Structure 1
Amino acid sequence: MEPKDDNYYIEKVLSGETNYFSYIVEKYQDIVFSIALKVLRNREDAEEMAQESFIKAYKSLGSFRGSAKFSTWLYRITYNTCISETRKKKQHFTSTDDVQISDEAEEMNLDGIPEENRARYIKEALEKLPEDEYTLVLLYYFEEKSVDEICTVTGLSASNAKVKLFRARKKLYTILNEMLKDELHTIL
């Protein structure tokens, strides 16, 4: 059976065939959990909030207008659900202004590193980013969302999203550069 687009499943659910929502959950569960985990930094809370996000999406499915992609709408629900949870727990976000970014970060080159190690380094570096920056990088580079879609998910202005994405990218380069220096020192 050929996979259908999100609107097909949404229409099925809205017409009373609620079991079709499982296709939506299956398609988006990894990214929803990933966003929740990065924002909440706790696996159990992330699982709970990912589930809560799908419940909210299911209950609000009738209000989905289709002016944005369904995935963008779902990510916005997830992001807001997690932010609300962090506010309840009074956790504070790390400001991007608190981190010094070296000028050497621009010169980093990953071409000499075997591809399997490259993926490991990038994953480790991403884990070191603050949750808001991680979410931006994840949405832009891995989910291939546009800046406008990211603004819809995060509530940021386009200029603020671009600045934060730029800072996150520079910080990621700095982190990778430090990791590679450490790795080189352990080899030598």
Structure 2
Amino acid sequence: MEDEQRLIQQVLAGDKQAYAHIINKYKNQLYATILRMTKNPQDAQDLVQDAFIKVYRNLGKYDASGSFSSWLYRVAINHCMDEFRKKRYSTIQVEIDEAKVVNREHPEVVFLKKEKSRQLERLIATLPEDERLIILLRYVNEISYEEIGEVMDVPLSTVRNKLHRAKKKMRETVKREGGYFHELSNGG
């Protein structure tokens, strides 16, 4: 946190190399979140680049009262939502190259892991946009409820309610359609 504040001050003083450190720290998490929102790798790359430009231009507006990561996510996600509204964004399903993230184990285990991951992606994709975003921020980016509230500019109670509703919908879908996620269908 202290290191981030130092980097921010350096960027505001004109040090563009310091901004490269901020980008490197957040680019992968932000890309993963936006990719799950858009389901399109090229659009996700473009939106991440645009978001980092927007963050850079608005860095002087960051007041350091909240966490920098929450502020950065809020700027990036608001930018994405604006773009979605402009384009009436239509998402398409893409396959993520899981070969890079799956351990090289027995072929059957690898297959099951891939299938489980695909099924979870499909399950999350069925959620409304706001609930999907909360699930991604909480479980993919491991952001606290408070930070999610800051990012989405909603009260903590709304974050908890939407997260609860999203998990309930996912459980109901698993019960109805079956699949690998027995822990979800049993209330886990």
What's the TM-score once normalised by structure 2's chain length? 0.71
Note the 1:50-129 alignment, pairs <5 A: 50-91=48-89, 121=116, 124-129=119-124
Counterpart of 2:7 in structure 1 is 9
Which of 18, 28, 31 aligns to 2:29? It is: 31
The verdict on how the C-alpha distance between 1:139 and 1:155 changes in structure 2, with shifts beyond 3 A counting, is same
Amino acid at match of 1:162: R
The verdict on how the C-alpha distance between 1:121 and 1:75 changes in structure 2, with shifts beyond 3 A counting, is same
Residues 11 and 18, structure 2, Cα contact 8 Å, conserved in 1: yes
The verdict on how the C-alpha distance between 1:116 and 1:72 changes in structure 2, with shifts beyond 3 A counting, is farther
Residues 151 and 158, structure 1, Cα contact 8 Å, conserved in 2: yes
Deviations 1:92-112, CA, capped at 9 Å, x for gaps: 89xxxxxxxxxxxxxxxxxxx
The verdict on how the C-alpha distance between 1:165 and 1:115 changes in structure 2, with shifts beyond 3 A counting, is farther
CA distance in 1, matches of 2:4, 2:166: 30
1:165 positional shift: 0.3
| Relative contact order higher in (CA < 8 Å, ≥ 6 apart) | 1
Counterpart of 2:168 in structure 1 is 170
Unaligned runs of at least 5 residues, structure 2: 92-108, 182-188
CA distance in 1, matches of 2:41, 2:3: 30
Identity value in percent: 31
SS in 2 for 1:144: coil
1:50 positional shift: 0.6
Amino acid at match of 1:180: Y
Unaligned runs of at least 5 residues, structure 1: 94-113, 182-188
Counterpart of 1:45 in structure 2 is 43
CA distance in 1, matches of 2:172, 2:116: 12
Counterpart of 2:103 in structure 1 is none
Residues 33 and 140, structure 2, Cα contact 8 Å, conserved in 1: no
Amino acid at match of 2:141: E
Counterpart of 2:144 in structure 1 is 146
Name segments (4+ residues, structure 1) moved above 4 Å.
114-120, 174-177
CA distance in 2, matches of 1:150, 1:53: 18
Deviations 1:106-132, CA, capped at 9 Å, x for gaps: xxxxxxxx8995686256414431343
What's the TM-score once normalised by structure 1's chain length? 0.71
SS in 1 for 2:180: helix
CA RMSD of aligned residues (A): 3.0
